Amino acid sequence: MSPDAFAVQFLNGLASASTLFLIAVGLSLIFGVTRIVNFAHGSFYMLGIFVAYSLVTRIGDSPFGFWVSMLLAALVVAIVGLLVELVLLRRIYQAPELFQLLATFAVVLIVRDATLAIWGPEDLLGPRAPGLKGSVDILGRQFPTYDLVLICIGPAVLAALWFVLTRTRFGVLIRAATQDRDMVGALGVNQAWLFSGVFALGAFLAALGGALQLPREPANLGIDLVAIGEAFVVVVVGGMGSIPGAFLAAFIIAEIKAMCFAIGQTTLFGVSFSFSKLTLVVEFLVMAAVLIWRPWGLMGRPGAATRNAAEIEVPLKPADARTRKLGWVVLIALVLLPLVGTAFPYTIVLSIDILVAVLFATSLHFIMGPGGMHSFGHAAYFGLGAYGAGLLVKQLGWPMEGALAAAPVAAAVGALIFGWFCVRLSGVYLAMLTLAFAQIVWSIAFQWDELTGGSNGIVGLWPAEWLSEKWAYYYLTLTLTVAGVLLLWRVLLAPFGYALRAGRDSPLRADAIGIDVFHTQWMGFVLAGAVCGVAGGLFAFSKGSIAPEAISVGRSIDGLVMVLLGGIQTLSGPVVGAALFTWLQDLIAREFQYWRAALGFTILVLVLAFPLGVAGSIKRLFVKEVA
């Protein structure tokens, strides 16, 4: 590879970096001020490119019309963002941490289907930018003129933001709020308007980033998730809330990617290695490395306590007589289910899925709620359990029972290794490191054709003969799920669980009374991972196959949604949430053509009706003293 080639690839990297920066910077601002993990950010990006398409194809023939379209598109989406904030998020700022994530997740679903309904299923490739259609000669290569403009736009936006943040009152407030949220309240600033303004600004920037891509890529459904993934990585690598950090991170990631393509296929130590394939996960490798090295990102600061003061949790109690009775009723009903199951055979099938989801969500809740470690990558342990069991059957010819028993071991080993790194971090950084590890596991499963079957996964993983009847497998699942859930609950009410919560409530105090917080959290992580592995194993054998989807971000997010939907502050929350979500998804996907949007609206209704989660809000009705 010649130096010229590298130089031009460097320029390519700069163009991509500008794009990445624009996607990410708005997310960083929104998080910095409101502490909302805004999943809908990618949707704003996607809307940006679609709206820009509609505008440019109407008024974008002249350079003036084109650039006006870009700004207009961003403005339109900023208004959408503002509406989301005013109508939705504003009502739930008082909810427990992360709960807003649920609402933004619903927005993602709704925006996706709305876009499909408005713009249709076909990809829409916009025209090139007037006046910038061609290329210029750089080092004997044709380099797109538009990319040169893009390279300049990134730093221009950075400079504009710098100006706003340092020279305007709005900017000063944003910076103050990013550093210390309570301070802004103390300054007597109308916090509500600050939040709305920042949310709209963030949406504006995301949409602008999207719109500017129009000459480079078609408006298509699916870029929302791509964008949100990349945005999170950039923001976290740069340091949450740090705008120069986002710029630096975008630069580093884009350049590394460009260089991976530049190197392409090479031979390293006698082994042929494809660097272009590495781009599948390279950003997550970078993120993992950065977070291990600098737990607050490249330019972030050790966060002030992000804990929401409004968050008051009712102490966990062993179940009282009434709750116990309810538990027995539910359990007996579940045991009797196969009897009616002959009349409604699908009930059993769906129940197996629900039970697996319950176990998955309960294990996530264990570390996320009482453990205080918000894992965004819990699917890693689900996948390790599933693949572990699958590989033992397929590669080593183990019987299904043995493989299932090994599933938690496989997951626990993964959790032991990843947890050791993750537990040192906190808040969103911890969340993103768990996600990075999950993505790394996913990419290995996805790429390692010989072992894991690559993107197709492993098929032919059916239960042993004696479990082949659905009701038999149902009882197995029921037994393991009930055992797993009770185990985790028991542990939470045992001294270890108290130590775990102590470490979450006040690491300072916990350490000062002899609790090894790191070790406790680490072991909690491993235990949750192991139980999650059981869920993964059960899943694999109930489906007869396992594919990388089992480890995907989507599954991790489903887990978060279940926990939050049920209520993160109650033990029964994840159980209720998982059952409700799985059942709703099944029902709605069957009954509605635009099922994503229908599911999104359902979640929104639940979010607004039950701001502590379904189980949490119901429980609150029965608990007298809280405040």
Closest alpha carbon to 404 in 394, 389, 416, 417: 389
Contact present, 210 and 48 (Cβ < 8 Å): yes
Least Å distance between CB 546 and another protein?
A: 8
Least Å distance between CB 257 and another protein?
A: 6
3-class SS at 406?
helix
User: Between 89 and 356, whose beta carbon lies closer to another protein?
Assistant: 356
Q: What is the footprint of another protein within residues 274-333 (CB under 8 A)?
A: 274, 276-277, 279-280, 312-318
Task: Give how far Cα 277 sits from Cα of 19, 265, 266, 281, 449, Å.
Answer: 21, 9, 12, 8, 13
Q: What is the footprint of another protein within residues 206-265 (CB under 8 A)?
A: 215-218, 220-223, 226, 257-258, 261-262, 264-265
Q: Which of 125, 172, 335, 618 binds another protein (CB under 8 A)?
A: 125
Binding residues for another protein, total number by CB under 8 A:
114
Task: Give how far Cα 110 sits from Cα of 43, 598, 606, Å.
Answer: 9, 8, 15
Q: What is the footprint of another protein within residues 355-394 (CB under 8 A)?
A: 370
User: Between 8 and 291, whose beta carbon lies closer to another protein?
Assistant: 8
Q: Which of 42, 48, 96, 144 binds another protein (CB under 8 A)?
A: 144
Backbone angles phi, psi at 501, to 5 degrees: -70, -35
Q: Which of 141, 175, 301, 424 binds another protein (CB under 8 A)?
A: 141
User: Between 398 and 595, whose beta carbon lies closer to another protein?
Assistant: 595
User: Between 36 and 510, whose beta carbon lies closer to another protein?
Assistant: 510
Q: What is the footprint of another protein within residues 509-568 (CB under 8 A)?
A: 509-516, 520, 539, 543-545, 547-550, 552, 554
User: Between 170 and 594, whose beta carbon lies closer to another protein?
Assistant: 594
3-class SS at 510?
helix
Identity of residue 244? P
Closest alpha carbon to 463 in 402, 409, 412: 402
User: Between 196 and 552, whose beta carbon lies closer to another protein?
Assistant: 552
Least Å distance between CB 107 and another protein?
A: 17
* Helix-, strand-, coil-residue percentages of the chain, each rounded to 5: 75, 5, 20
User: Between 216 and 378, whose beta carbon lies closer to another protein?
Assistant: 216
β-bridge partners, 265: 274
Least Å distance between CB 67 and another protein?
A: 19
β-bridge partners, 266: 273
Is residue 591 at the binding interface for another protein, with CB under 8 A as the rule? no
Q: What is the footprint of another protein within residues 475-514 (CB under 8 A)?
A: 490-491, 493-499, 501-502, 504-506, 508-514
Buried b (16+ CB within 10 A) or exposed e, 101-128: bbbbbbbbbbbbbbbeeebeeeeeebeb
If you ran DSSP here, which 8-state letter would residue 303 be given?
A: P
Cα separation, 607 vs 604, whole angstroms: 5
CA torsion sign, 452 to 457 to 459 to 463? Answer: positive
Q: What is the footprint of another protein within residues 391-450 (CB under 8 A)?
A: 446-447, 449
Tokens of 621: 């009705």
Q: Which of 68, 91, 92, 143 binds another protein (CB under 8 A)?
A: 143
